[in-house]
Amino acid sequence: MPAERRPLLRDDTLYPASIDPSTWAGFRVAGDARAASEVPVLEVANVMAWELERAGVVGVELDLLVRSAAKWFGLKSVGKTVRRRFEKGVRLLVAVGRATEVDGRLVLVS
């Protein structure tokens, strides 16, 4: 397979050659519930960024953000496994400069 058509492995997820994970802001919502381990951290971060954009300058408390994002992926409850996975999404948002914490809330960096 030519290099330009090979999927890219980033973290634990394969992305089509047509997607650059460093700039991709999409996410796939679940028709059926998925296990937290099946939800790519990048998609968690992207859905959280979307939620933060909707919240505007007031931002969102971490616990509420995690619960809200989990619903997008069909996850009914937020236990330790889900929380750990989704907090990785928060750390990714902060690490790449897309969000910051202000007074216990996450807000998008404009």
The ranges assigned to domains in the chain are 33-108
Output DSSP code: residue 100: E
CA distances from 59 to 52, 75, 84 (A): 6, 22, 21
pLDDT confidence of residue 77: 87
Residues 6+ apart with CB under 8 A from 63: none
Q: What contacts 27, CB < 8 A, 6 or more positions away?
A: 43, 44, 46, 47, 50, 72
pLDDT tens string 44-95: 999 999 999 998 878 899 999 999 999 988 888 899 999 999 999 999 999 9
pTM: predicted TM-score of the whole model, two decimal places: 0.79
